[in-house]
């Protein structure tokens, strides 16, 4: 998976200025209502539908999928939390105010 690493990378990809081969994707059978909403959002953003969809796809690729996010969370170092001690600290802090 390739994702944008800087804001400039994002702007370059969204503007269509690339440093290498570029692929094309076509989406068929888009419901008319969905197409109308996308066209309206593109117009509101002062972008063509192509520009709007490309920018949104590029942004979305930068987000982890649910599976990727779960794997990231699972790979983090675990630590134990003493809930009773935390509650006691909060009570002491509140009482000192």
pLDDT at 79 (0 to 100): 81
pLDDT at 22 (0 to 100): 86
pLDDT at 77 (0 to 100): 86
What CA–CA distance (Å, rounded) separates 79 from 47?
A: 47
Phi-psi region of 77 (alpha: psi -120 to 50; beta: other; left: phi over 0): beta
Looking at residue 63, the DSSP 8-state letter turns out to be S
What average pLDDT does range 7-21 have in this prediction? 63
What CA–CA distance (Å, rounded) separates 50 from 57?
A: 11
- What is the value of pTM for the model shown? 0.55
What average pLDDT does range 46-75 have in this prediction? 94
Residue 83 pLDDT exceeds 80: yes
């Amino acid at each position: 998976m390739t994702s944008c690493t800087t804001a400039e990378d994002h702007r370059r990809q969204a503007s269509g200025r690339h440093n290498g081969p570029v692929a094309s994707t076509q989406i068929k059978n888009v419901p008319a209502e969905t197409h109308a909403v996308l066209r309206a959002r593109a117009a509101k953003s002062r972008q063509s539908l192509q520009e709007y969809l490309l920018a949104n796809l590029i942004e979305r690729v930068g987000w982890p999928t649910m599976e990727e996010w779960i794997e990231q969370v699972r790979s983090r170092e675990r630590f134990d939390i003493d809930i009773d001690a935390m509650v006691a600290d909060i009570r002491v802090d509140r009482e000192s105010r």
